Amino acid sequence: MLRSVLRRVLGGGQGWGAGPRRPIQSCSALVYRKHGPDLDQLRMEQWDLPAVGAHSVRLQILAAPVNPADINMMQGTYPILPEFPAVGGNEGMGEVVEVGAGVSSVRVGDWVIPVDAGFGTWRTEAVCDAADLLSVPRDVSLLGASTVSVNPCTAYRMLHDFQHLRPGDTVIQNGANSAVGQAVIQIAAALGLRTINIVRDRPNYEGLAAELKARGADHVMTEDELQRTGLGHILQEVPRPRLGLNCVGGVSGGLVLTSLDSGGTLVTYGGMAKKPLQIPAKSLIFQNISLKGFWMTQWKRNNRKDFHLLQSMVDALCAMLRSGQLTPPTCVLVPFQNYRQAIQATVQPHQCKQVLLMH
Amino acid sequence: MLRSVLRRVLGGGQGWGAGPRRPIQSCSALVYRKHGPDLDQLRMEQWDLPAVGAHSVRLQILAAPVNPADINMMQGTYPILPEFPAVGGNEGMGEVVEVGAGVSSVRVGDWVIPVDAGFGTWRTEAVCDAADLLSVPRDVSLLGASTVSVNPCTAYRMLHDFQHLRPGDTVIQNGANSAVGQAVIQIAAALGLRTINIVRDRPNYEGLAAELKARGADHVMTEDELQRTGLGHILQEVPRPRLGLNCVGGVSGGLVLTSLDSGGTLVTYGGMAKKPLQIPAKSLIFQNISLKGFWMTQWKRNNRKDFHLLQSMVDALCAMLRSGQLTPPTCVLVPFQNYRQAIQATVQPHQCKQVLLMH
């Protein structure tokens, strides 16, 4: 599916290198032609845009983040890879500037985001099928709209699809200060759920804990503390969690697992520690804990035909963004031409999310 | 629930130590009064039986196996523990010798097995509620009937409840020579499923492989071989497995996991290696593998009210026993008074299942 999306976005072979055929517009795009550890091969190039067809639209891309998955895709270590030449970037938002005669789902001036991964959002303009876009309201912030479709959607689905949770129920997560973790805290709070948030011990722990609590975290503790004391006194205030979210793995994932209530589910969506989860048989057999994984890209593939489900999730998240219940993660805004700075910062540890501004 | 079952079986305080109150019958029972590693504390004692009430029946227990869970229960390391004094044994079969006036589900002469764990089957006779019993046909072998309710039921449920499998689909399991593993091979074959069976390398490997193939195993391989070559050529003959069964843990469980098809499920029902499963995050996230546990005791608790579901499973397994599609595991038959020999053999590695014969 990724290849067909790319082909549609790039205009069926009329992109860079194929030579202009009645080009109506061109755009600047960040292009790569091979996989590998060398990120310097990413180049800003001029790309011809195809004419807008009956069912397609032309967008000005306004903002697009640099996510770790974008880097992994360039390196060739991600489970889906593009055809070459490829435009980087999977997430972002644009404004519709031209629509085909047969398009009724969006209008000129609408804000939109791509449905699927693999769009190639690091570009100033794109022509694509109108069916590959979801609408976002214009009264949401640029940052909120351009970063809503990966991390907040992941948090939203994990809170909805794995356990039937009711207001007052508890969720426990590690990597709680990650972009997904911060969205989990806020969406959970909006749903009336309580959160127990595990972070690695660090010099500025108190400041981080205060920041997460300001977002709505009920409890914040370090991995060391959880290992030493378990959930202890926290269980006098909240019920034992039935949902655990893990993006770390190794010991940390095991700590989240053993904190769950009988019949609970541990959902893994990342493996930052690069160490396997250690699962004692008795947790599975006698505590009836289930382990599952979540990957937003696959979820979108599985639900691609249910456009209403996709749009209603984005609408719900945009409503939270508008009301302030959900705030975008702390970001560094980087002018498009300074893209190398954004790429380099993304591969460093403990950096804020980098968002490219195209215009 | 276990305590209430025991109370019903023991006759509401009229058991050993409470002094006889109009005893109608007595029985020999293997009794223990504390938990701990010392298995010698198990003693053969005379136990008074209560009178048969309107809804209860009296059984002669004919045969009862010694399962590892029985030993763990005596040691106090099992998740359910009896009240003291306790009669050992969770599985077995008996013949109805007396029924209460209000009992219609069984008749004198019927063969029966306990519904729940915790019955205390190491005894010559018992009085219990008729609702605590399932019927087995009399044309099933004594060994088959007395060993059907734990291991074959576990195999049956794991093959039915975790993936929708159709004839031709593949199941992979480790510990394939365990009692459950052998039942999995036979029940899977009866269902038209293909099995890949992993065992530890051992001196008599060829003989064991031949024995498992004689039971209906499609493929048998050692852990070392699987680690070295993966499923390799086997996948030219059978589809990649969507269900994995794990009773070992550690490296072996990980090998079964990584052999599964995308969207597959690994069900853990034991942890013989006493080492945790090591689960790479990518198996969960990008292969969408789920991990679950299975415990027959809990399944019976959850489905206690659906008597038809329980009885139909036992009927299906007895039909397989009768037709020879399912054969009891290799057993050593031990006269009841020689119970110490059966207990000692059960705690040794690589011993056949020990079955006590009461009469």
Nearest CA distance, A280 vs chain B (angstrom): 4
Q: Tell me if B81 is assigned to some domain.
A: yes
The domain boundary residue, chosen from A250, A282, A297: A297
- B226 and B346, same domain (yes or no): no
Whether the per-residue pLDDT at A216 is higher than 90: the answer is yes
The verdict on a CB contact (< 8 Å) between B285 and A276 is no
Please report, as a single letter, which amino acid is at residue B146: S
Which residue, of A255, A274, A297, is where some domain finishes? A297
B109 and B168, same domain (yes or no): no
Confidence of residue A15 (pLDDT cuts 50, 70, 90): very low
Residues 6+ apart with CB under 8 A from A236: none
CB-CB neighbors (< 8 A) of A254 in chain B: 276
pLDDT at A11 exceeding the cut of 90: no
pLDDT at A24: 62
Is residue A270 domain-resident? Answer: yes
Q: Is residue A308 part of a domain?
A: no
Whether residue B163 sits in one domain with residue B46: no
What is the pLDDT, as a whole number, of residue B21? 47
Measured between beta carbons, the chain A residues lying within 8 angstroms of B270 are: 281, 285
Residue A338 lies in a domain: yes
Residue A8's pLDDT is what?
Answer: 44
pLDDT tens for B251-273 read: 999 999 999 999 999 999 999 99
Contact B285 A291 (CB under 8 A): no
Residues B102 and B233 in one domain: no
Neighbours of B107 (CB within 10 A): 11
Q: Establish if B307 belongs to a structural domain.
A: no
Provide the number of structural domains found in chain B. Answer: 2
Domain match, A11 and A70 both: yes
**Residue at B308 is within a domain:** no
pLDDT band at A12 (very low <50, low <70, confident <90, very high): very low
Cβ contact, residue pair A291, B278, below 8 Å: no
Q: What is the mean pLDDT of chain A?
A: 92
Q: Which pLDDT score is estimated for A44?
A: 97
pLDDT tens per residue, range B173-226: 999 999 999 999 999 999 999 999 999 988 899 999 999 999 999 999 999 999
- Look at A286 and B249 and tell me if their CB atoms are within 8 Å: no
The CA distances from residue A133 to A112, A137, B70, B151, B241, in Å, are 6, 13, 60, 53, 37
The pLDDT tens digits of the residues spanning A131-151 come to: 999 999 999 999 999 999 999
The DSSP annotation for B24-79 comes to: SEEEEEEEE-S-SS-GGG-EEEEEEEPPP-TTEEEEEEEEEEE-HHHHHHHHT-SS
Model confidence over B284-293: pLDDT tens digits? 999 999 999 9
CATH number of the domain residue A176 falls in: 3.40.50.720
- Residues B140 and B166 both lie in one domain: no
- The per-residue pLDDT for range B322-356, each reduced to its tens digit, is 999 999 988 999 999 999 999 999 998 778 899 99
Indicate whether B278 and B341 sit together in one domain. no
- On whether both A75 and A168 belong to a single domain, the answer is no
What mean pLDDT value characterizes chain B? Answer: 92
Residues 23-82 of A with CB under 8 A from B: 79
Q: Give the residue-averaged pLDDT of B71-75.
A: 95
In a domain, B322, yes or no: no
* Residue A310 contacts B, CB cutoff 8 Å: no
Catalytic residue, chosen from B78, B156, B269, B339, is B78
The arithmetic mean of pLDDT across residues A242-260, rounded, is: 96
Separation CA B354–CA B331 (nearest Å):
6
Same-domain check for residues A178 and A140: no
Using a CB-CB distance cutoff of 8 angstroms, which residues of chain A are in contact with residue B286?
79, 293, 295, 298
Q: What is the pLDDT of residues A161-186, one digit of tens each?
A: 999 999 999 999 999 999 999 999 99
List the CATH number of the domain containing B79: 3.90.180.10
Q: Which residues contact A123 (CB under 8 A, 6 or more apart)?
A: A27, A28, A29, A30, A47, A61, A87, A89, A358
Q: Which of B277, B283, B299, B303 to mutate to test the interface with A (most CBs of A within 10 A)?
A: B277
pLDDT band, residue B5 (cuts 50/70/90) = very low
At A330, is the pLDDT very low, low, confident or very high (cuts 50, 70, 90)? confident
Task: Point out the residue among A246, A288, A291 whose CB comes nearest to the CB of B290.
Answer: A291
B314 lies in some domain? no
- Which one of A271, A288, A291 has the shortest CB-CB distance to B282? A271
Together in a domain, B285 and B212: yes
Whether residues A24 and A6 share a domain: the answer is yes
Which of B246, B281, B297 terminates a domain? The answer is B297
Respond yes or no: is residue B78 known to be catalytic. Answer: yes
- Model confidence over A117-132: pLDDT tens digits? 999 999 999 999 999 9
Q: Domain of residue B232: give its range.
A: 151-297
Determine what percent of chain A is predicted with pLDDT higher than 90. 87
SS3 of residue B267 by DSSP? strand
Alpha helices of chain B — where are they, by DSSP H? Answer: 2-10, 68-75, 142-146, 151-161, 179-190, 205-215, 223-229, 250-258, 281-285, 296-302, 307-323, 339-347
Q: Are residues B274 and B248 in the same domain?
A: yes
- The mean pLDDT of A57-77, rounded to a whole number, is 96
| pLDDT at A19 > cutoff 50 | no
Q: How confident is the model over B273-283, as pLDDT tens digits? A: 999 999 999 99
Interface A–B counts its CB contacts (< 8 A) at 98
Distance (Å, whole) CA B245 – CA A283: 16
Whole-number pLDDT of residue A351: 81
- Asked whether residue A66 carries a pLDDT value surpassing 80, the answer given is yes
Q: Is the pLDDT of residue A343 over 90?
A: yes
pLDDT of amino acid B81: 93
B277 shares contact with chain A (CB less than 8 Å): yes
pLDDT at A86 over 60: yes
Name every chain B residue with its beta carbon within 8 A of the beta carbon of A278: 276-279
What would the mean pLDDT of A200-206 be, rounded to a whole number? Answer: 91
